[in-house]
Chain A
Amino acid sequence: MINKIIKQLKKDSYKIFGPQIQDEEVCVLEFDVAPEIELLKKVSHRPYKYFLMPIREILYKYKNGKPKEEPNKPDKRALFGMSIFDIKALELYDRVFENDIYYQNNRKKLLIIGYSATSIKNYKSSFFTIDEKILENTIFDIFIEDRKFYVQSDKGEEILKKCGLKYKKINYTPRKEDKKVLEIKKAIEKSQDSKLWEELGEICLACGKCTVACPTCFCFDIESVLGPDKKIERCSGNCFYDDFTRIAGGHKFLNSPAEKIKFWYYHKFVRIPHEYGLPGCVDCGRCTIVCPVGINITENIKRILKESKK
């Protein structure tokens, strides 16, 4: 059945991206043949976010000294096999970049195909409340749950129709605020003097791998690129690197791994909920998997929650 969909997507001239092995990691790459089911069962090591916002893109160029918009012309792309975590991250991106013309241009050309090898009832969260209505509360065009198919959009429906597959139509409604999100937010705000930050600061290498692996890390730099055609590009940023907060004259506002890691947790668990009412973390565990010194986000959140109750 998956093969049918892949064939149809190709017929509809989509470039298809999904889980593929590269350098012993499950990455998200372009493919022609449906990925092996084993690959789809696991959450990919790498997130899908660079298809939502490229690592580097031109915002505008200077023509005769005048800034001239450089509209991005994205291809029709299908993101196949996104996990529950990845489509939750997509919902956040859609909100954060609501007024961003480059994001929206690209987003219009994307077809989102979520996948869960087993019943979505098996989906677990280690520190948020389990969402009973995941399929209603997330955004996708097509969602494949084992052998069942769901659609949210017309373009998703059209593809399944052409494949002759039976499906159920679902309407998206944002999730009611999870009380647990607020609880974690308050606990982090209260954690200013917790020893945890110092302890993490001592082992954290500030390598930034967690931000690359994280499906919700979207921060970016806007850079002036020298060369024959002077242009301004947006490229993904990294709050663990020293130039992130450095200003002219050399002063920095984040000065140690401890401060950086706290800043990162603040983004996920305080700033994003404060602004959007959504958690800034989808609890996928990728940051824990890639961390070279074994910093475990689940343990840390649990500890902060415990400390806040004292």
Chain B
Amino acid sequence: MDNIYLPKLARIVDSYEEADGSVILTLRMKDSSKFSFRAGQFAMLGFPGWGEAPFDICSSPLNDKEFQFCIRRVGNLSKKLGSLKKGDELLVRGPLGNGFKTLEDLEPKNILFLGGGCGFVTVRPIIKYIIEKGLYKDRKVQLLYGARAEESILFKEEQKEWKKYVDVQVALENPPKGSGKYHKGMITDLFNEIELVSPTSVIMCGPPIMYRFCIQALGDKCLPRATYLLMERRMHCGVGVCQHCAIGPYYVCKDGPVFTLEMLNKAGVKL
């Protein structure tokens, strides 16, 4: 019987700063084993003496040798992980969760990403997959992203590359004066300012409050529409036993983190 709780060692092969006090760590398994995952999956990252916690995998699912995490330094463990340097080792348990099984088969084909906060991290592996697999060729892909200010935009440099394939629109609460690059306001303000792709699969990566407002503001736009939400919770076991991440009848670690709005509505889960 496998030990479902035992993590494996991984080595940091690269590390660089991202916006909002985040760091991107590039890892490789120490035993050179493959790390195959689907976009939307997560892993438990840990450090001896500091415990472990779930982090979204943020690199392309098409690379199973090196993989990345975007870690925002908000808690004890994330601060510790954020202080590690190239060559240091940490613990990885995963990949865990469902993730997107086949992005190719999404119905409707068009994709509208709604992102905000640190949940935005999960958009990256999906976008990377779409670009590398050329999925943008037979569908429209639109990304709406809401952030506080220019300096808190995650993956700002990379977004320039994404823009070649994906319609990227950023709304800032406090945009810099004189720059015409951003919309002013909340992500939901964009729904009236720009033409949304329609019909569409909506993929939401952000805080629950953003989900609530987005669903309300979308109203009857882009119908028929399928909505996917990425949820986050405190986790301990990561395999659907310990109960910390339960939502209604589901576990975020096992049945999620990708949920359809339909699934949550049916189970009477309030966002």
Contact = CB atoms under 8 A, between A and B. Distances in A.
B233 A247 contact: yes
Interface string A85-108: 000000000001101110010000
B89 interface: yes
Nearest to B236: A222
Nearest to B75: A248
B3 A237 contact: no
Contact of A245 (B234, B239, B268): B234
A62 interface: yes
Given A60-B3, A224-B51, 20 more contacts: A60-B6, A65-B48, A67-B6, A97-B241, A99-B4, A99-B239, A218-B241, A220-B241, A222-B5, A222-B51, A239-B243, A248-B75, A248-B77, A248-B78, A249-B74, A249-B75, A253-B233, A266-B249, A271-B246, A271-B250
A166 interface: no
A175 interface: no
Interface of B: 1-9, 46, 48-53, 74-78, 89, 91, 232-234, 236-237, 239-244, 246, 248-250, 267-268, 270
24 contacts: A59-B5, A67-B8, A96-B241, A99-B2, A101-B1, A189-B249, A190-B268, A219-B244, A220-B237, A222-B5, A222-B51, A222-B237, A222-B242, A230-B48, A234-B5, A237-B244, A247-B232, A247-B234, A253-B233, A266-B246, A267-B243, A270-B248, A271-B248, A271-B250
Interface string A57-74: 001101001110100000
**Top-3 shortest CB links A-B:** A248-B75, A224-B51, A219-B243
Contacts of A59: 5-6
Contact of B234 (A65, A253, A267): A253
Contacts of B6: 59-60, 67, 69
A67 B246 contact: no
Contacts of B3: 60, 69, 101
A132 interface: no
A274 B236 contact: no
Interface residues of A, number: 43
Contacts of B48: 62, 65, 67, 224, 230
Given A246-B234, A247-B234, A237 B243 contact: yes
Interface string A257-279: 00000010011001100110000
Nearest to A191: B268
B249 A270 contact: yes
Contacts of A249: 74-75
Given A192-B268, A248-B74, A266-B249, A67 B7 contact: yes
Nearest to B77: A248
B48 to A, nearest CB: 4
A60 B6 CA distance: 7
Nearest to A266: B248
Interface of A: 59-60, 62, 65-67, 69, 96-97, 99-101, 104, 189-190, 192, 218-224, 226, 230, 232, 234, 237, 239, 244-249, 253, 263, 266-267, 270-271, 274-275
B38 to A, nearest CB: 21
Contacts of B1: 99, 101, 104
Contacts of B8: 67
Contacts of B240: 275
Contacts of A192: 268, 270
A95 to B, nearest CB: 11
Interface of A is mostly: mixed
Nearest to B232: A247
A60 B270 CA distance: 38
Contacts of B243: 219, 237, 239, 267
A218 B240 CA distance: 12
A249 B74 CA distance: 6
A67 B9 contact: yes
B256 to A, nearest CB: 13
Nearest to A222: B236
Contacts of B270: 192
B244 A66 contact: no
Contacts of B9: 65-67
A219 B241 CA distance: 7
Given A189-B267, A220-B236, A237 B242 contact: yes
B266 to A, nearest CB: 9
Nearest to B78: A248
B197 to A, nearest CB: 32
Give the residue among A99, A230, A248, A249 with the most B Cβ atoms within 10 A: A248
B89 A274 contact: no
B1 to A, nearest CB: 5
Contacts of B91: 67
A244 B234 contact: yes
A25 B188 CA distance: 58
Given A67-B9, A189-B267, A220-B242, A248 B249 contact: no
Given A226-B49, A249-B74, A274 B249 contact: yes
